[in-house]
Structure 1
Amino acid sequence: MLIEKKVEEKRTSKTILFGKEKLTIEDVNAIAHNDADVCLSDDESFYEKVTSGAEFLERLLKEDGVIYGVTTGYGDSCTVQVPLDKVDELPLHLTRFHGCGLGEFFNELEGRAILAVRLASLSQGVSGVRWRMLRQFETLLNKNIVPVIPKEGSVGASGDLTPLSYVAATLIGERDVYFEKEKRATAEVFEELDITPLKLKPKEGLAVMNGTAVMTALACLAYSRAEYLTRLCTRITSLCSLALKGNSNHFDDILFSVKPHPGQGQIATWIREDLHHDHHPRNSSRLQDRYSIRCAPHVIGVLRDSLPWMRQMIEIELNSANDNPIIDGAGEHVLHGGHFYGGHIAFVMDSLKNCVANLADLMDRQMALLVDNKFNNGLPNNLSAAVSDRKPLNHGFKAVQIAVSAWTAEALKNTMPASVFSRSTECHNQDKVSMGTIAARDCVRVLELTEQIASALLMASTQGLELRMRQNELEKSSLSDSILQTHNEVFEHFEILTEDRPLDKELRKFVDLIQLQVWSTY
């Protein structure tokens, strides 16, 4: 089977090194999907850079140095001096008083991404943590022990403190984890696997928690899903154009040469190739198709053209040290700043969800054209394949179109930018915050809804194509190989809708396959 073969092909395992080269969005996704092991680089200079910071902090403590979050309280409490005989208790208190997250929990895939991104930051070697802490992250990922992290409670500066407290708690053997598809107490799993819980050194609780790992992890996952949607939505547009007897001249290369946005032009090229325009131009009886077909490259192209700068911002954040203070072990500096601020990720996520919601809206309009016999150029009403006296009983995709409209409305509602809703918190110490994690969570929700819409459109557009062939209005031999491949993949999991039946299980299956990114695209 075509789809099953692709799923199997995706299950490749590789090893991703931390501390050697910069990580990519694809690296984080591979780790999140458990398609890659992780390993700390054995480069001696990497080891020395990490350990020099921890050793420098130890020397400062012995010299009674004043270090934020090490010998002082946190945030607005930085003026409170912590006695040296109590500093070892301070990070434990930090992990515990931030244990107030609520809402749904991040799934295992998201949790693995969060672990990977936090390890990436600590691997910059300027957080003042011991080598053993990095090893503990490595163990969690390779044994697939994933913290159970609530989604709600972060304002995105001072980093993702509350959700990352659940990561810190896991390192020390507290709270709960996902292990072997079950939610279990961390202490039980550690005992079972003979893993020794960490005892946090004074700066280590802050180093784990005071950063942008949650929002950045979600951004890496969201980017990959959005990039795939640009390709899938393009293929769906090609299917819709064929099903609606559209005019392929709308995607002509000369036409797009005079408005040369590269991403937009790429979308037009893909559609043109799908439609065999260069060899078999399809000229509709209408001079111009409706905008949701004719302007599809202009809609999808906005996201496609935005992906490069989004990648740049995400990957810079991914490969940054984003906690506070920064510990320069070699130069023996403690640098207090605000690198935990998630403004770049917040902006990317607010922008990405806007672009993705426009894909949802585009496909919603395409769906409306397909099911309405006033606009679908001779297809049956609601795309029903029922014939003769069964026609009055059957309603085809009528309810699916209503559901698509509901999903679209919810996606559009979630495009309100979160990054402008800063709140002053923590005794006005954190008086300007990024809201990056809320923006990222919103973006993930918009992606989920858009993937649901795409699953419906894959069925509907392919059914429309099949009906054209059954009505002898389209020759199968005239279709491009790419369109035929998608047609065949869809009908592996979908039987043409003749008699009404519930479609929810098939829709869920299609969403799962979209998220696995196995439908044929480009």
Structure 2
Amino acid sequence: MVELTGHSLTLDQIKSICYDEEFVTISKESLHKVEQSRKAVERILKEKRTIYGINTGFGKFSDVVIAEDDVNDLQVNLIRSHACGVGEPFPEVVSRAMVLLRLNALIKGYSGIRPIIAEQLLTLLNHKIHPVIPQQGSLGASGDLAPLSHLALVLMGEGKVHYKGEIHTTMEVFEKEGIQPIGLQAKEGLALINGTQAMTAMGVINWIEAFVLARQSEMIASLTIEGLAGIIDAFHPAIHEVRGYPQQMDVAERIRNILSGSKLITRQGEKRVQDAYSLRCIPQVHGASWQALDYVKEKLEIEINAATDNPLIFDDGNTVISGGNFHGQPIAIAMDFMKIAVAEFASISERRIERLVNPQLNDLPPFLSPQPGLQSGAMIMQYAAASLVSENKTLAHPASVDSIPSSANQEDHVSMGTIASRHAYMIIQNVRRVLAIECICALQAVEYRGVDKMAPTTKGFYQEARKIVPSIIEDRVFSEDIENLTDWLKKNNVVWTATTVKETVNK
């Protein structure tokens, strides 16, 4: 069970809640803060003070004062009018993360909602009811207005939800579960949608997947090193220590551990003096990507515990400040950074694939074919990898450098952070497929070299991977192999290390 406080949520907890569907509660202290914040809103209404979003219009309409009898309708109208998301829905796990992060932000006690709003979000999590939220339509400031409006619709009993593997109308599911829809009151609609939780939820899922993928890339690269009789000297700790990057040193150490005991690797001068960069520079390239992932993690850990709506209520309502915490620029830049970093895992992987299949670059059968000429073997798998890498170059173009003014130029600079996070997710899926292709080729290469000569760790990985993709003894529809191995890498969520391989093989 995870207790939310509004300020202590971790990425590991998000992973357990979103993937393992761990039960969630709200701390009593946080609920008390929510109650106090709500009392402040009620005093503002009673005193007839004019405060943005409570009794005024929104955006360019901020100067329009709303009559007391209409303040609740104002919030409902806001949600319905702003639910303009289009396109395919976010993955369900992202929707779940969005509900979690919006709840965590609101219980900080600066948003002026009633406790019942927080409790309804909690109910969605613990009943595994997840809003259907279209991916496109957010500018990333004033927060993720369109996506979060689709989330807010569900609290009101409107919209659609994911439930037990299917999509249903919200009220259909609420009736099955005995849940009552909520009528929004002053400030609550705005509090629900002013925030960065769409881009941040997508970003957190991106980071979780990218972390696993980066570690898997090291195992697959190690397999390639064996398949190409790579030179282990390039991973000597002295080389990496004198440069000084911790992430580079860590990658080199993990690959040394993975390849420990291998009789397929070579020493410099035995077969060649130096390997190509795609082998020799794995610690430097992968290490640089790990540096970026560390940066992204740091920003996400701040944002998942941040108050990001507007206005924010301080000092029991005596101080209500309109600001811009909903602006997604920190996450936009982090996601753009992630896109470049993760794309590089595929870029260097594709070059290793080329070295595995090109007879001019190795002493293996051309294109790893069982009958070169009659059968093409892995020839077109390299094409597919090259296509995915090229597509990633387009997706990696930074979204955060763009801005289009909105709301009659009141909102004249926006982050495009949700676009950045969506494109990062697309890149991650492409990278996984490229690594799957490298893995298939490397599995075939080590067979030619001799499986009995592999390191214990890579041999354990080989045995598990061969259960998914059989040896290439004749041409077949390799698309199926690529997709099967891609699914295996994703669904198993395995961080392959010397220890995990040993544990897997011994089961």
TM-score band, normalised by shorter chain: over 0.9
Q: Tell me the distance in 2 between the aligned counterparts of 1:80 and 1:293.
A: 63
Tell me by how many angstroms 1:405 deviates.
0.7
Per the alignment, residue 364 of structure 2 pairs with 379
Counterpart mapping for 1:390-429 below 5 A: 390-429=371-410
8 Å contact kept, 2:226–2:265: no
Cα deviations by residue, 1:102-158 (Å, 9 ceiling, x for unpaired):
111112111111111111111211111111111111111111111111111100000
Asked if residue 233 in structure 1 is aligned to residue 214 in structure 2, the reply is no
Q: Tell me the distance in 2 between the aligned counterparts of 1:138 and 1:418.
A: 33
Per the alignment, residue 520 of structure 1 pairs with 496
Asked if residue 171 in structure 1 is aligned to residue 147 in structure 2, the reply is no
Asked if residue 461 in structure 1 is aligned to residue 442 in structure 2, the reply is yes
8 Å contact kept, 2:226–2:454: no
Asked if residue 435 in structure 1 is aligned to residue 419 in structure 2, the reply is no
Q: Give the match's secondary structure for 2:52.
A: coil
Per the alignment, residue 503 of structure 2 pairs with none
Per the alignment, residue 280 of structure 2 pairs with 294
8 Å contact kept, 2:195–2:325: yes
Tell me by how many angstroms 1:443 deviates.
0.6
Question: Unmatched 5+ residue regions in structure 2?
Answer: 499-507
Moved more, 488-497 or 478-487: 478-487
Cα deviations by residue, 1:442-495 (Å, 9 ceiling, x for unpaired):
1111111001111111111111111211xxxxx62x433221121111111111
Distance 1:107 1:307, change over 3 A: closer
8 Å contact kept, 1:321–1:339: yes
- Residue 73 of structure 1 aligns to which amino acid in structure 2? G
8 Å contact kept, 1:101–1:151: yes
Counterpart mapping for 1:17-416 below 5 A: 17-19=3-5, 22-41=8-27, 43=28, 45-276=29-260, 282-283=266-267, 284-328=270-314, 330=316, 332-376=318-362, 378-384=363-369, 386=370, 390-416=371-397
8 Å contact kept, 1:33–1:109: yes
- Residue 349 of structure 2 aligns to which amino acid in structure 1? M
8 Å contact kept, 2:6–2:305: no
Tell me by how many angstroms 1:514 deviates.
2.0
Distance 1:331 1:169, change over 3 A: closer
8 Å contact kept, 2:35–2:114: yes
Per the alignment, residue 475 of structure 2 pairs with 500
Identical pairs, percent: 35
- Residue 249 of structure 2 aligns to which amino acid in structure 1? G
Q: Tell me the distance in 2 between the aligned counterparts of 1:119 and 1:348.
A: 23
8 Å contact kept, 2:258–2:497: no
Tell me by how many angstroms 1:21 deviates.
5.5
Divergent runs of 4+, >4 A: 277-281
Q: Give the match's secondary structure for 1:393.
A: coil
TM-score, normalisation: structure 1: 0.92
8 Å contact kept, 2:229–2:264: no
Per the alignment, residue 454 of structure 2 pairs with 479
Q: Tell me the distance in 1 between the aligned counterparts of 2:173 and 2:58.
A: 31
- Residue 74 of structure 2 aligns to which amino acid in structure 1? L
Tell me by how many angstroms 1:329 deviates.
5.6
Moved more, 512-521 or 152-161: 512-521
Number of corresponding residues: 495
8 Å contact kept, 2:365–2:372: no
Q: Give the match's secondary structure for 1:445.
A: helix
8 Å contact kept, 1:249–1:281: no
Q: Tell me the distance in 2 between the aligned counterparts of 1:293 and 1:140.
A: 48
Moved more, 505-514 or 95-104: 505-514
Tell me by how many angstroms 1:309 deviates.
2.5
Q: Tell me the distance in 1 between the aligned counterparts of 2:234 and 2:353.
A: 19
- Residue 481 of structure 1 aligns to which amino acid in structure 2? P
Q: Tell me the distance in 2 between the aligned counterparts of 1:456 and 1:124.
A: 46
Tell me by how many angstroms 1:307 deviates.
2.7
TM-score, normalisation: structure 2: 0.94
Q: Tell me the distance in 2 between the aligned counterparts of 1:519 and 1:217.
A: 22
Question: Unmatched 5+ residue regions in structure 1?
Answer: 1-14, 470-474
Q: Tell me the distance in 2 between the aligned counterparts of 1:218 and 1:251.
A: 35
Q: Tell me the distance in 2 between the aligned counterparts of 1:271 and 1:131.
A: 51
- Residue 521 of structure 1 aligns to which amino acid in structure 2? T
8 Å contact kept, 2:2–2:24: yes
Q: Tell me the distance in 2 between the aligned counterparts of 1:512 and 1:94.
A: 40
- Residue 247 of structure 1 aligns to which amino acid in structure 2? I
8 Å contact kept, 2:403–2:415: yes
- Residue 449 of structure 1 aligns to which amino acid in structure 2? N
Q: Tell me the distance in 2 between the aligned counterparts of 1:47 and 1:272.
A: 50
Q: Tell me the distance in 1 between the aligned counterparts of 2:188 and 2:57.
A: 14
Tell me by how many angstroms 1:400 deviates.
1.1
Distance 1:132 1:221, change over 3 A: same
Q: Give the match's secondary structure for 1:95.
A: helix
Tell me by how many angstroms 1:182 deviates.
1.2
Tell me by how many angstroms 1:276 deviates.
2.3
Q: Tell me the distance in 1 between the aligned counterparts of 2:163 and 2:326.
A: 30
Tell me by how many angstroms 1:216 deviates.
0.5
Cα deviations by residue, 1:166-191 (Å, 9 ceiling, x for unpaired):
00000000011111111111111112
Taking only aligned residues, the RMSD between alpha carbons, in angstroms, comes to 1.7
